[in-house]
Amino acid sequence: MSARTLPLLFLNLGGEMLYILDQRLRAQSIPGEKARKDEWTDVDRKRVMNDIITTMFNKKFMEELFKPQELYSKKALRTVYDRLAHASIMRLNQASMDKLYDLMTMAFKYQVLLCPRPKDILLVTFNHLDAIKDFIRDSPGILNQVDETFRQLIETYSCLSAGEFQLIRQTLLIFFQDMHIRVSIFLKDKVQNSNGRFVLPISGPVPWGTEVPGLIRIFNHNGDEVKRTEFTTDGNYVTPQREGSFDLYGDRVLKLGTNMYSVSRPVETHMSGSSKNLASHAKENIVPNPLAKEELNFLARLLGGMEIKKPGGSETGFRLNLFTTDEEEEHAALTRPEELSYKVINIEAAQEPGRRAELSRILGEMEVAEPRPPSAGKGEDLLALMDGL
């Protein structure tokens, strides 16, 4: 597995989360002069987006994220997004948070599958960051945070070889391989089957730097071309006009990773049979996770830099429903397999004795190993790092 995959996974999933939240907040917004105290306004929407993006691109958080490290469990990463989604006055109940995470993961999985070449995953990431910058174009301070992450991405990934990007793509596909959630947008566009698996096209542009298939060249021992043979293909392939820009600003050419919710469409999710079977067997796996301590420390480091905005004074948190009605949300909460549900972790750096116990309780299957010296490359001690955040 690639030790450079985590930042790309986090940023792309985070970008999809922001797309969904922006679309739902816009759909539920009421004009300011008509809104009741408990109803969303466009001012509230902007505030939520600003708060989440500020937390997401926190400097110390990004520094920890970009350290070379392996991916951790789906449950550990899901906990980070629970915390991130609640970094503002917005509150999501369990069913809506489950649906949000399903939409995020399936959208990015589809984008990874469709990338013409492994390096284009970086262009997908840039598309997400370009859109995020558009969300906060009126907030120069937050914009600088995103630009700094942009520069860090360029510095970290521009020098990687094609083989290293291929390893990153394989690591992402391994992470997503057991996730087959059906999404109405994909089903209606006929890019996803009823079992939750994606339908990959056999036509379209070929990867940049390659030729349209249909020609076989034969060379002699001197390297001179001596014969050409043409053959027909089932697909309709075209050569891309130009390569997408990997600079801070530029035309990415590739459209994967752009906002597919810009036009209001329903975004229902349904579990496929394979995912239900996965959930039904979840409790059978009682083998302790050998990376338990590392995963708990990983969560503590990442979550230590996040702060949940608690409504002050008479201000109340606003609830966002990702379903069409409250009844649908309640039904989803009742029918969701317990094994696939997660809880939001609140970590207070000053409460060290209870922090690890709380993480261990919520992350069920993980067992906390006995303390040991930090492994090479980890740098600072966990507690010292968290106390400094």
Assign 3-class secondary structure to 2-22: CCCCHHHHHHHHHHHHHHHHH
Q: What is the pLDDT of residue 79?
A: 86
Distance CA 320, CA 84 (A): 14
pLDDT at 28: 79
Other Cβ atoms within 10 Å of 389 Cβ, number: 15
Q: Judge whether 174 and 86 are in contact, CB under 8 Å.
A: no
Mean pLDDT by 10 residues, the chain (389 residues): 92 95 83 64 88 93 90 85 87 86 94 95 97 94 95 94 96 94 90 93 89 93 94 88 90 92 61 50 41 53 55 56 61 59 42 42 38 33 32
**Contact (Cβ atoms closer than 8 angstroms) between residue 180 and residue 195:** yes
pLDDT of residue 221: 94
Q: Is-contact 359 345, C-beta < 8 A?
A: yes
Residue type, 20: I
Domain count, the chain: 1
Check residue 379 and give its pLDDT: 28
Q: Does residue 336 lie in a domain region?
A: yes
Under 8 Å CB-to-CB from 288, ≥6 apart: which residues? 365, 366, 367
Q: What is the tally of helices (H) and strands (E) in the chain?
A: 14, 8
d(CA 41, CA 129): 25
The number of angstroms, rounded, from the C-alpha of 383 to the middle of its chain's C-alpha atoms is 27
HSE-CB of 329 using CA atoms within 13 angstroms: 15
Q: Tokens representing 219?
A: 């060379």
Per DSSP, what are the bridge partners of residue 229? 216
Q: 140-157 and 42-56 are packed helices; what angle lies between their axes, rounded to 10 degrees? A: 40
Pairing verdict, β 225-230 and 215-219: antiparallel
Task: Decide: helix, strand or coil at residue 215.
Answer: strand
**Does a structural domain hold residue 116?**
yes
| 3-class DSSP assignment, residue 51 | helix
Which residues, at least 6 apart from 233, have a Cβ–Cβ distance to it below 8 Å?
213, 214
Distances (CA, A) of 261 to 17, 166, 258, 266, 366: 11, 29, 9, 9, 36
Cα separation of 198 and 289, whole Å?
A: 30
**Residue 279 lies inside a defined structural domain of this protein:** no
The residue range of the domain holding 126 is: 5-202+245-262+294-342
Quote the pLDDT of residue 356. 42
R_g (Cα) of the chain, nearest Å: 23
- Helix pair angle (94-114, 120-135), 10° resolution: 140
Rounded Cα distance between 81 and 96, Å, is 13
Q: Report helix, strand or coil for 201.
A: coil
- Report pLDDT for 289: 47
CA–CA gap between residue 121 and residue 150 (Å, rounded): 14
Residue 333 inside a domain? The answer is: yes
356 in a structural domain: no
The confidence score (pLDDT) of residue 316 equals 52
Q: Is 119 domain-assigned?
A: yes
The reply to whether 348 falls in a domain is no
Sign of the Cα torsion 351, 85, 300, 282 reads: positive
- State the alpha helices, DSSP H only, in 199-351: 273-280, 292-304, 326-335
Return the pLDDT at 348. 40
Cα-Cα-Cα-Cα dihedral of 204, 205, 207, 212, to 10°?
Answer: 90
Residue 162: inside a domain? yes
- Count the Cβ atoms, other than its own, within 10 Å of residue 371: 9
Q: Are the beta carbons of 202 and 296 closer than 8 angstroms?
A: no
